[in-house]
Amino acid sequence: MPRASHTDLRRNFRSLLASNTCYHTASVFDPMSARIAADLGFEVGILGGSVASLQVLAAPDFALITLSEFAEQATRIGRVAQLPFIADADHGYGNALNVMRTVIELERAGVAALTIEDTLLPAQFGRKSTDLISVAEGVGKIRAALEARVDPELAIIARTNAALVPVREVINRTQQYQQAGADGICIVGVRDFEQLEQIAEGLSVPLMLVTYANPLLRDDERMAELGVRIVVDGHGAYFAAIKATYDCLREQRQIVSNTSDLNATELTHTYTRPEDYIVWAEEFMNVKE
């Protein structure tokens, strides 16, 4: 069977963005999952930053994975993938110059698109990842990403979080990222269709929503009418794999333990040990000058 090139897959992804349909992503985290997703007929996949951190480091999503580690995992997927996949490139692993390096590495890895978000990462001590960089810095990152891109078919998608700032600021940010040349806008944390309509009104580029299966946004036709082309429901396949691995190995060892009834989220928390990182942050990052 002839294999599609990276450019072919990027063109396929562009055709999804240009359509009038809403497509749901498959969570792909290694070559096998990418092949399974393509065989099952998924049109697009996504390598999540949090999933890559789990898969590569067994670490929580605290911006610990490096660009090289993330790009290596994307390269493994890109070698076999026969569906276009999006890379969740977090904040681009630094400032605008780091974003340029990120685009270069992920383009070589074979991704069809990548998202660059305007979250301030890594999070400052004592705060959750709820701070956003300035709009000007966000625009600079998008412009830098476009400058670093070699294959014009690679889609650069600007990402922001609608749950963290007032809707007027979301509208301002998304419109400025569109004006900067982003090929699409990714929005996390949209509450409902009323908020989505307000944001989408001033946008002409395709939208990507990270909904985490929000029940108030379960209408693909309505989302498509508002310009949504890509929907990320979450990464259930990866967490199901964690649960299946645990159950299989526990049964193999014939172990009955107090963790036997833990769900995938609880198991992930158990084995990524976020409490260790919190203690280390308190010890090494709580600097008082």
- Kindly list the domain boundaries of the chain, sorted by start residue: 6-234, 240-284
pLDDT digits (tens, 9 = 90+) for 256-277: 665 567 899 999 999 999 999 9
pLDDT tier for residue 289 given thresholds of 50, 70 and 90 = low
**pLDDT tens digit sequence for 94-151:** 999 999 999 999 999 999 999 999 999 887 776 665 789 999 999 999 999 999 999 9
Identify the CATH class of 6-234: alpha beta
Determine whether 286 is exposed, middle or buried from the number of CB atoms within 10 Å of its CB (0-12, 13-18, 19+).
exposed
